[in-house]
Amino acid sequence: MPNIASFHPQIVHFIIVLGFVGVGLRILSLVVKIEWIKPAATVTLLAAAAAGVLAARSGDEAHQPAERIPGARTAVQDHEELGERARNLFLVVAGFELLALAVGKREKARKAALVGSAVTGLVAAFFLFEAAEHGGEVVYAYAGGVGTRSGNPADVEHLLVAGLYHGAQADRQAGDTVSAARLTEELLRQMPDDFGVQLLAARSQLVDLHDPSAAMASLDRVQVPADNARMALQVGMLRSDVYLAMGQPDSARTVLQQLIAQFPDNSMVQR
Domain boundaries along the sequence of the chain: 5-142, 153-270
Please tell me the predicted confidence (pLDDT) of residue 155. Answer: 84
Nearest CA-CA partner of 91 in 62, 123, 59? 123
Using the predicted structure, report yes or no on whether residue 1 has a pLDDT greater than 80: no
Nearest CA-CA partner of 59 in 87, 89, 19? 87
Residue 41 CB: number of other CB atoms within 10 A?
Answer: 26
CB 225 within 8 A of CB 231: yes
Rounded Cα distance, 203 and 222, in Å:
13
Average pLDDT over residues 206-217: 96
Using the predicted structure, report yes or no on whether residue 123 has a pLDDT greater than 60: yes
Rounded Cα distance, 133 and 135, in Å:
5
Band of residue 18 on the pLDDT scale cut at 50, 70, 90: very high
CB 58 within 8 A of CB 4: yes
Give percent of the chain above pLDDT 90: 70
pLDDT, mean over the chain: 91
Nearest CA-CA partner of 200 in 226, 174, 245, 167? 167
How deeply is 229 buried, as exposed, middle or buried, from its count of CB atoms within 10 A (0-12, 13-18, 19+)? Answer: middle
Nearest CA-CA partner of 240 in 262, 267, 265, 258? 258
Please tell me the predicted confidence (pLDDT) of residue 266. Answer: 67
Phi, psi of 209 (to 5 degrees): -95, -10
Using the predicted structure, report yes or no on whether residue 4 has a pLDDT greater than 90: no
Please tell me the predicted confidence (pLDDT) of residue 270. Answer: 57
Lowest-confidence region among 88-97, 140-149, 157-166, 203-212: 140-149
Average pLDDT over residues 79-100: 97
Lowest-confidence region among 24-38, 139-153, 197-211: 139-153
How far is the CA of 110 from the CAs of 25, 30, 125, 126, 244, in angstroms? 16, 12, 22, 25, 80
Band of residue 25 on the pLDDT scale cut at 50, 70, 90: very high
Rounded Cα distance, 264 and 232, in Å:
13
Please tell me the predicted confidence (pLDDT) of residue 133. Answer: 96
Please tell me the predicted confidence (pLDDT) of residue 206. Answer: 96
At 29-59, the pLDDT tens digits run: 999 989 899 999 999 999 999 999 999 999 9
At 243-259, the pLDDT tens digits run: 999 999 999 999 988 88
At 85-94, the pLDDT tens digits run: 999 999 999 9
The class (CATH top level) of 153-270 is: mainly alpha
**Between 3 and 48, where is the model more confident?**
48
Kindly report the pTM of this predicted structure: 0.76
Rounded Cα distance, 108 and 144, in Å:
48
